[in-house]
């Protein structure tokens, strides 16, 4: 018996001929995103070792966590979740669920960025964020990524990985407003915007 997939579940297609995007060191999207999850988890572990501290290093690490997470989230929203919608059965529902978790975490990050480590709300908010992200990462790594690997060719996964690495290079590397990265797109973003909005705008092109 021949089973025909509906066209919306057609094999992974990301919009460009594969030959247009060659790279000396191909890295597939799942490897790129898993590596970023691990980097953030490393920062979470460092922060948990400083639990309750109020020094500048805590502030610096928390800002680095927020910058990394927003950068990662925007890249997933631009390239990963549209592909999920396109190639996976039930992909729309999966993508909507993941997006709602991004939105929830982003609200927690906006709350966190308004606090300093001296605030009584800082550590509870940071722990809330860590819990939300760990839950989300587990879902992606144990649920979504294996499905995506089964639905896409290695070449297609590498094409997506390159696109994600490319878009993330636009992101600011320094989280503090007083220390923007060189040639930063942040200059065009409204003064007074919070860290989450500045990173998101720099990546998504809003404010440029
Ligand atoms: Fe995600
Ligand atoms: Fe992720």
List the domains of the chain with CATH numbers: 25-175+188-204 (1.20.120.520)
Q: State pLDDT tens for residues 94-123.
A: 999 999 999 999 999 999 999 999 999 999
What is the mean pLDDT of the segment spanning 142-167? 95
Q: How far does the centroid of ligand 2 lie from the alpha carbon of residue 115, in Å?
A: 25
Q: How far does the centroid of ligand 2 lie from the alpha carbon of residue 75, in Å?
A: 9
The CA angle 22-23-29, to the nearest 5 degrees, is 95
Q: State pLDDT tens for residues 14-65.
A: 444 433 444 456 699 999 999 999 999 999 999 999 999 999 999 999 999 9
Q: How far does the centroid of ligand 2 lie from the alpha carbon of residue 167, in Å?
A: 15
Mean pLDDT of the chain, nearest integer: 83
pLDDT at residue number 188: 43
What share of the chain in percent tops pLDDT 70?
75
Q: How far does the centroid of ligand 2 lie from the alpha carbon of residue 136, in Å?
A: 7
What share of the chain in percent tops pLDDT 90?
66
pLDDT at residue number 129: 98
pLDDT at residue number 10: 47
Q: How far does the centroid of ligand 2 lie from the alpha carbon of residue 82, in Å?
A: 14
**Pairs from 86-92 (Cβ < 8 Å, separation ≥ 24):** 86/8, 86/10, 86/12, 86/13, 87/9, 87/10, 87/11, 87/12, 87/13, 87/148, 87/151, 87/152, 88/9, 88/147, 88/148, 88/151, 89/9, 91/8, 91/9
Q: How far does the centroid of ligand 1 lie from the alpha carbon of residue 175, in Å?
A: 20
Q: How far does the centroid of ligand 1 lie from the alpha carbon of residue 75, in Å?
A: 9
CB atoms within 5 A of ion ligand 2 belong to 140
Ligand nearest to the CA of 98: 1
């Amino acid at each position: 018996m021949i089973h025909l997939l509906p066209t919306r579940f057609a094999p992974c297609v990301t919009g460009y001929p594969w030959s247009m995007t060659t790279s000396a060191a191909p890295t597939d999207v799942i490897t790129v995103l898993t590596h970023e999850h691990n980097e953030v988890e490393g920062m979470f572990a460092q922060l948990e070792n400083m639990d309750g501290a109020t020094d500048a290093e805590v502030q610096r690490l928390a800002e680095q966590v927020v910058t990394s997470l927003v950068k990662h989230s925007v890249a997933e929203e631009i390239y990963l979740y549209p592909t999920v919608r396109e190639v996976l059965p039930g992909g729309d529902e999966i993508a909507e669920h993941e997006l709602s978790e991004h939105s929830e975490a982003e609200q927690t990050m906006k709350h966190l960025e308004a606090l300093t480590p001296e605030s009584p709300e800082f550590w509870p908010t940071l722990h809330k964020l860590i819990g939300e992200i760990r839950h989300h990462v587990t879902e992606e790594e144990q649920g979504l990524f294996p499905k995506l690997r089964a639905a896409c060719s290695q070449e297609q996964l590498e094409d997506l990985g390159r696109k994600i690495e490319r878009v993330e290079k636009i992101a600011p590397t320094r989280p503090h407003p007083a220390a923007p990265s060189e040639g930063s797109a942040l200059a065009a973003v409204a003064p007074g915007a919070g860290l989450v909005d500045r990173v998101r705008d720099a990546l998504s092109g809003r404010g440029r």
